[in-house]
């Protein structure tokens, strides 16, 4: 079975720009969650998608938005990038909301 | 409150020593899951174990073992005969509802350094 894959692995953007991060969920998984991990900290929950609908959201502003597609892959979009958005963004998939959660390798975003 | 505490920020041991990483959690849920993940310098979170709140059996997987004690709300992780490749940050996490969202609630992580 294929695992969770994320693209790109690294990205450098300028403050004010917009970015789209992508995630392919593990085969058979219909739930995707996104987490932000700042350097030296634990991951923070951004939001979760279940069957193409947002199913929960953490304490992140509206400029963080997402999508889930019919094949359960997902995108994370961040508008008006700020320096503090620099972090590792992790995508996780699971077969159902409380299922076994697998993570991708992450996208390291640097905002300059 | 839903909370995970990993009190050990950093542990350094010499190779072949045994090491235990502590995890204490708080939850009001009766059904929940506990997880351990390993995060090497590459950044990927590697799944190690998931434990159901109703299953208090300890588990051993090779050099890794986990001690789940519901009475003390702890889910500790022991590495026996540590190796340099075990060097990483280890996170304990709790699945549950927080701020009206079902999510993983994470500890701050323990950085484990295994010296040759």
Residues B65-85: tens digit of each pLDDT: 999 999 999 999 999 999 999
Percentage of residues in chain B with pLDDT exceeding 70? 97
Cβ A105–B95 below 8 Å, yes or no? no
Report the pLDDT value the prediction gives residue B29, as an integer from 0 to 100: 86
Percentage of residues in chain B with pLDDT exceeding 90? 69
- For residue B13, pLDDT beyond 90: yes
Output the DSSP codes for A34-50.
EEEE-TTS--EEEEEEE
Which range (A81-85, B84-88, B96-100) has the least confidence?
A: B96-100
- For residue B100, pLDDT beyond 70: no
Report the pLDDT value the prediction gives residue B1, as an integer from 0 to 100: 77
Report the pLDDT value the prediction gives residue A98, as an integer from 0 to 100: 61
- Which residues in B lie closer than 8 A to residue A104 (C-beta atoms)? 44
User: B29, B96, B101, B110: best mutation site toward chain A, by most A Cβ within 10 Å?
Assistant: B101
B63 and B112 Cβ atoms separated by less than 8 Å? no
A27 and A76 Cβ atoms separated by less than 8 Å? no
Q: Which two tokens stand for residue B74?
A: 């702890």
Number of Cβ atoms within 10 Å of the Cβ of B94: 25
- CA within 13 Å, CB half, B22: 10
A112 and A57 Cβ atoms separated by less than 8 Å? no
| DSSP β-bridge partners for residue B75 | B68
Report the pLDDT value the prediction gives residue B27, as an integer from 0 to 100: 92
- For residue B8, pLDDT beyond 70: yes
- Which residues in A lie closer than 8 A to residue B35 (C-beta atoms)? 101
Q: What is the largest CA-CA distance in chain B?
A: 46
Chain A residue with minimum CA distance to B95? A98
Report the pLDDT value the prediction gives residue B103, as an integer from 0 to 100: 80
Average pLDDT over residues B47-66: 89
B94 and A36 Cβ atoms separated by less than 8 Å? no
Q: Which of A72, A70, A109 is nearest to A88 (CA)?
A: A109
Question: Where residue B12 falls among pLDDT bands split at 50, 70, 90?
Answer: very high
Q: Which residues of chain A have pLDDT under 70?
A: 1, 97-99
Report the pLDDT value the prediction gives residue A97, as an integer from 0 to 100: 62
């Amino acid at each position: 079975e294929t695992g969770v894959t994320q693209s790109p692995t690294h990205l450098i953007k300028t403050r004010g720009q917009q970015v789209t991060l992508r995630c392919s969920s593990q085969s058979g998984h219909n739930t995707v969650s996104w987490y932000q991990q700042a350097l030296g900290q634990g991951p923070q929950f951004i939001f979760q998608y279940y069957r193409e609908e947002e199913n929960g959201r953490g304490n992140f502003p509206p400029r963080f938005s997402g999508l889930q597609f019919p094949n359960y892959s997902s995108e994370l979009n961040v508008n008006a990038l700020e320096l503090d958005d620099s972090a590792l963004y992790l995508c996780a998939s699971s077969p159902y909301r409380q299922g076994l959660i697998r993570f991708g390798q992450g996208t390291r975003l640097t905002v300059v | 409150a839903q909370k995970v505490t990993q009190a050990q920020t950093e542990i350094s041991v010499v190779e072949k020593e045994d090491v235990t990483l502590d995890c204490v959690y708080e939850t009001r849920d009766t059904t929940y899951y506990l997880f351990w993940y390993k995060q090497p310098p590459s950044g990927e979170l590697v799944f190690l174990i998931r434990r159901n709140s109703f299953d208090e059996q300890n588990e051993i997987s090779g050099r890794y073992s986990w001690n789940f004690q519901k009475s003390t709300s702890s889910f500790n992780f022991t590495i026996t005969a540590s190796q340099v490749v075990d060097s990483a940050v280890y996170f304990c996490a709790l699945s549950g509802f927080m701020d009206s969202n079902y999510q993983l609630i994470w500890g701050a992580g323990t950085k484990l350094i295994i010296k040759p």
